DNA sequence: TAGCAAACGCAGCGATCGATGCAATAATAG
DNA sequence: CTATTATTGCATCGATCGCTGCGTTTGCTA
């Protein structure tokens, strides 16, 4: 057999264009903070796509939001490589803090967590967890003794996301850096 | 005029009963994790109240959820008084962790954050912040040197709420206690 | 280039949401 | 106890949501 699975999905051309358009429409509509709730027809209209398409491709609004969040929060922050764990973490938390300061990002995260349930929350932070684990792993390979991933997540991602979701987020510059000091001593 | 403000609101009797019933209905409907989104008619039906009443008393669903969250997250955890800051914090974070392990509480928090925006988030943690500030204040009056409220919130509430919203929340017993050690050294 | 199948658009349908006058109830002041 | 008025219930209406066949377009493979 040349290719065992003939082609169950069709990821190129118009499909990809529609998906990107719908994703962008979701981000845009969530960005402009409207009082009305987010609905599929509104998304389709903004995307220039028929509502039927959205209903058929994504089983529910929660799945759509999860997909948008996973796509948006993957690859938006690159894992730095400064040579030391402290340097990597300091640069990384700063980048994450900058990303979390964007109102559009916050709106997307709120909607995803509120609509898609626990899976939505995981979709928002899965890539961040992987990045953090990669940096700690590298430090371990370098011969260092990094803290476990759970503790690092508690000390870094915890305050970052807590402030983003539950406070008005003043976010003084340099504050995120202090989290690294609190973790590494 | 005998009394300058005659009576603009009427908080007793049936009104209070309706409000309590609607609040309870919201918590119940969010508790049983349904795939359909939360709507006003569903809440009214569960509460045994006409939908018009809900539409008129609460300007939007977000306001209703904020009110429910503020009511639910006020007074549910008492501020302990063990004599030492460490003892107070350890008991308190344990209580908060237990509360956050309740699926109904998580569902209410997700919906509030996702629907009511930043105000919803504040409504969920305002009382917790006040409690934390009270314990630190008491330590200060006792002659101690407690950490600032922001750092305590970062170290304690941050991991607690981050794990509750963004992870599957295994929550080993005793883990919350470790947060206090990480904060106080 | 030709053929196949996946994906999309269109028209239309039941259901339900959210809102609006009007009448009835009941909580509070005197 | 009586009067006032905030509050709720009822009936109803327009708008829109979410979904389902069917025909058409468009990637993908041979």
Average pLDDT value over all residues in chain B: 91
Percent over 90 (pLDDT), chain A: 82
State whether residue B118 sits within 8 Å of chain A by CB. yes
Considering only residues A60 and B172, tell me which one the structure prediction assigns the higher pLDDT: A60
- The answer to whether B164 and B100 have CB atoms below 8 angstroms apart is yes
- Cα gap B72→B87, rounded to integer Å: 25
Report the pLDDT value the prediction gives residue B35, as an integer from 0 to 100.
Answer: 82
**How many Å from the CA of B17 to C1' of C27?**
13
- The answer to whether B106 and B164 have CB atoms below 8 angstroms apart is yes
Give tens-digit pLDDT for B88-130.
999 999 999 999 999 999 999 999 999 999 999 999 999 999 9
A125: Cβ contacts below 8 Å, ≥ 6 apart: A73, A157, A161, B166, B167
pLDDT surpassing 50 at residue A87? yes
B4: closest CA of chain A, how far (Å): 35
Considering only CB atoms, B161 lies closest to which of A35, A122, A166, namely A166
Report the pLDDT value the prediction gives residue A169, as an integer from 0 to 100.
Answer: 75
Assign residue A13 a region: left if phi > 0, alpha if psi is -120 to 50, beta otherwise? left
Two structure tokens written together for B133 = 């500030």
- Using alpha carbons, list the distances in angstroms from residue A73 to A31, A42, A104, A177, B42: 16, 23, 12, 21, 34
3-state secondary structure of A89: helix
Two structure tokens written together for A163 = 């402030």
Query: How many residues does the structure list for chain A?
Result: 185
| pTM score, whole prediction | 0.91
Angle subtended at Cα A170 by Cα A166 and Cα A175, rounded to the nearest 5 degrees: 100
Mutate to test the interface with A, among B58, B114, B120, B148 (most CBs of A within 10 A): B114
Report the pLDDT value the prediction gives residue A35, as an integer from 0 to 100.
Answer: 82
A64: enclosing H helix or E strand: helix A61-72
Q: What is the mean pLDDT of residues A49-54?
A: 96
Query: How many residues does the structure list for chain B?
Result: 185
Angle subtended at Cα B178 by Cα A141 and Cα A132, rounded to the nearest 5 degrees: 30
Two structure tokens written together for A132 = 């953090």
**Strands (DSSP E) found in B44-184:** none
- Cα gap A5→A146, rounded to integer Å: 43
Give tens-digit pLDDT for B14-29.
789 999 999 999 999 9
Lowest mean pLDDT among A4-18, B51-65, B66-80, B156-170: A4-18
- The answer to whether B183 and B158 have CB atoms below 8 angstroms apart is no
- Cα gap B102→A40, rounded to integer Å: 31
Task: For residue B176, give the nearest of B116, B108, B112, B99 by alpha carbon.
Answer: B99
- Going by pLDDT thresholds of 50, 70 and 90, the confidence category of residue A19 is very high
**For chain B, give me the number of helices (H) and strands (E)?**
9, 0
Residues of A in contact with B166 (CB under 8 A): 113, 121-122, 124-125, 157, 161
Report the pLDDT value the prediction gives residue A9, as an integer from 0 to 100.
Answer: 67
State whether residue B167 sits within 8 Å of chain A by CB. yes
Mutate to test the interface with B, among A116, A161, A165 (most CBs of B within 10 A): A165
Task: For residue A77, give the nearest of A65, A63, A62, A94 by alpha carbon.
Answer: A94
Q: What is the mean pLDDT of residues A131-140?
A: 96
B161: closest CA of chain A, how far (Å): 7
**How many Å from the CA of B61 to C1' of C20?**
19
> Is the Cβ atom of A84 within 7 Å of strand C at any atom?
no
């Amino acid at each position: 057999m040349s290719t065992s699975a003939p082609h169950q999905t069709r990821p190129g051309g118009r499909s990809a264009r529609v998906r990107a358009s719908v994703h962008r429409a979701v981000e845009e509509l969530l960005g402009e903070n409207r009082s009305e709730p987010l609905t599929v027809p509104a998304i389709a209209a903004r995307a220039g796509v028929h509502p039927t398409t959205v209903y058929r491709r994504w089983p529910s609004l929660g799945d759509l939001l999860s997909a948008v969040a996973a796509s948006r929060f993957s690859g938006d922050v690159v894992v730095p490589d400064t040579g030391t764990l402290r340097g990597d973490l300091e640069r990384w938390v700063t980048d994450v803090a900058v990303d979390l300061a964007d109102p559009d990002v916050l709106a997307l995260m709120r909607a995803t967590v509120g609509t898609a349930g626990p899976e939505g929350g995981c979709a928002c932070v899965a890539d961040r967890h992987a990045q953090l684990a990669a940096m700690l792993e590298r430090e371990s390979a370098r011969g260092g003794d990094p803290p476990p991933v759970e503790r690092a997540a508690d000390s870094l991602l915890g305050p970052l996301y807590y402030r983003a979701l539950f406070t008005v987020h003043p976010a003084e510059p340099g504050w995120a850096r202090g989290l690294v000091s609190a973790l590494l001593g």
